[in-house]
Structure 1
Amino acid sequence: MSTNRFKTTSDEALYLQVKNTLIDRIQSGDWKANTLIPTEKELIKEFGVSRTTIRQAVTILVQNGLLEKKQGRGTVVKPHQLVGNLGQLKGFAEEVMERGQVPRSKLLRAEFRTNLYHESDMLQVAQDSPILLVERIRFADDTPVALERSCWPESIGQLLMKHDLNEAKFYEILENDEIYLTKAHERIAAMNATIDEADLLAIRPGEALLEMTRLSYGLQDYPMEYTKTKYRSDQYHYHIELKR
């Protein structure tokens, strides 16, 4: 990069010009999540500005949650936080890809059960009717973001079980089979991670989680999906647009 890029004659302060350039590198993917950014000395040489200017720019990005200082290592790029929109029915994989990240799953369990009485009520199936239970860890790039526990009626479950559930995008599979979800009801609650949940999500026990419970419907308002997803609160938040 040319050192002429940052001009003292600009209406914008030098540290803000540097800050905006660093943001561009993060958002474009030039600087990947969890990787070290160049040292102060390297940035000073590249940009042709003072140490104070570099420190001001980096400090702002640390305060804004884009960068994180690691003792003994340097400054790293923080993973992007996922944003869920309460007005749209999307799957986890869709949300991750919209952020420019790669969705991935690790299957913990997939089995048909006949003793899931609450789930049977929610899905409006007979108490002894088999329900597919799928439990997965959901990742954005290589960061574990959520624990997902989804339940499906037997007919849908048989379709899903034909696929590799480590990689499966459930909504995409259904739509490819001309099965469409039309709406969903969601409930959001706050809770703390248990020891087992913390171990799976690579966090400390007791850290805050967001639990999203979703009941999705197909045509004729037929319940098709009952899912509880527990998100790391440092990796996920919801966006709600309110109008008056």
Structure 2
Amino acid sequence: MTASPIYIQIHNQIKREIESGKWVVGQRIPAERKLATDFGVSRMTLRQAIQTLVDEGILERRVGSGTFVARKKVQEKMSGITSFTELTRAQGKVPSSKTVSYRVTTPSLSEMEKLHLDEKQLVLRMERIRYADQTPICFEVATVPHQLVQNFSKEEVTSSLYHVLEEHGYAIGHAQQKVSAMLASEKIAEYLKIKRGEAILRLHQVTWLTDQRPFEYVRTQYAGERFEFYLEK
């Protein structure tokens, strides 16, 4: 079995400790330097683990104060399924993407929970920058069960996953989405060609097939000035 990257193993351990009550909502976690020493890894590796937890909404950074266990946000229902490709084309723009990472690996605890998987099942985790008319709109981390897409080419999966699945007889069902605001990290700012600390929108989405199988867990960060969500009741 493919071993999880070190930063994912640290992500899992910190998540377990939060769930066990070692750190509670609103509590500041130890500084990155101390955690890196505790885990015996470089600060870069530790920072990557922390960032995945921030991206998932489990931790939150507060400028000048540190990193804290995140409070739950007020939620609002959104109707429809967000497909970047379809959404972009509907606006009369040309969608495209740049693949930053494409890896078959073991799932993190968060990915296992969202996709109803066990630790023996592999996932495909891909990171992409999504563009509309060659302007970067968002950075996306998408995780899907490897078994579902193992017979598809990388080009098929990264171009438009929904379209490829439908072409192969799968019917897309419903999705659950959560939107929140955050500030752009240095990495995200570089990817989206914005300034570090600028406001961005973060979308978490889990999508199901009509047979009630969750097949996609996506964490997307949108350049706030280039994208807006429209809610209809």
TM-score (normalizing by structure 1): 0.61
Could you tell me which residue of structure 1 aligns to residue 187 of structure 2? 196
Aligned CA distance change for structure 1 residues 163 and 198 (closer, same or farther; 3 Å): same
Letter of the 1:130 partner, please give it: L
Which 5+ residue runs of structure 2 have no aligned equivalent?
Answer: 1-76
Structure 1 residue 98: Cα displacement = 0.5
Aligned CA distance change for structure 1 residues 91 and 202 (closer, same or farther; 3 Å): same
Which of 214, 219, 228 is matched with 1:228 structurally? 219
Aligned CA distance change for structure 1 residues 165 and 177 (closer, same or farther; 3 Å): closer
Q: Contact 1:105/1:166 (CA < 8 Å) preserved in 2?
A: no
Letter of the 1:118 partner, please give it: S
Q: Contact 2:175/2:207 (CA < 8 Å) preserved in 1?
A: yes
Q: Contact 2:106/2:121 (CA < 8 Å) preserved in 1?
A: yes
The equivalences for 1:65-144 within 5 A come to 86-144=78-136
What's the CA shift string for 1:196-236, capped at 9, x where partnerless? 11001000000011110000111231111100111011011
Q: Residues of 1 paired with 2:167 and 2:149: CA distance?
A: 15
1:184 aligns with 2:175: yes
Structure 1 residue 115: Cα displacement = 4.4
Letter of the 2:209 partner, please give it: G
Which of 106, 131, 148 is matched with 1:156 structurally? 148
Aligned CA distance change for structure 1 residues 132 and 140 (closer, same or farther; 3 Å): same
Could you tell me which residue of structure 2 aligns to residue 173 of structure 1? 164
Bigger Cα displacement from structure 2, 110-119 vs 199-208: 110-119
Letter of the 1:102 partner, please give it: V
- Between Structure 1 and Structure 2, how many residues are aligned? 157
Q: Residues of 1 paired with 2:107 and 2:91: CA distance?
A: 38
Structure 1 residue 114: Cα displacement = 0.8
Aligned CA distance change for structure 1 residues 145 and 135 (closer, same or farther; 3 Å): same
TM-score (normalizing by structure 2): 0.64
Q: Match of 2:159, SS?
A: coil
Aligned CA distance change for structure 1 residues 207 and 173 (closer, same or farther; 3 Å): same
Identity %: 27
Letter of the 1:164 partner, please give it: E
Task: Supply the RMSD in Å over aligned alpha carbons.
Answer: 1.7
Which has the larger Rg? Answer: 1
Q: Residues of 1 paired with 2:107 and 2:177: CA distance?
A: 24
Q: Residues of 1 paired with 2:107 and 2:215: CA distance?
A: 18
Letter of the 2:96 partner, please give it: R
Bigger Cα displacement from structure 2, 134-143 vs 148-157: 148-157
User: Which of structure 1's runs of 4+ aligned residues deviate more than 3 A?
Assistant: none
Q: Match of 1:234, SS?
A: helix
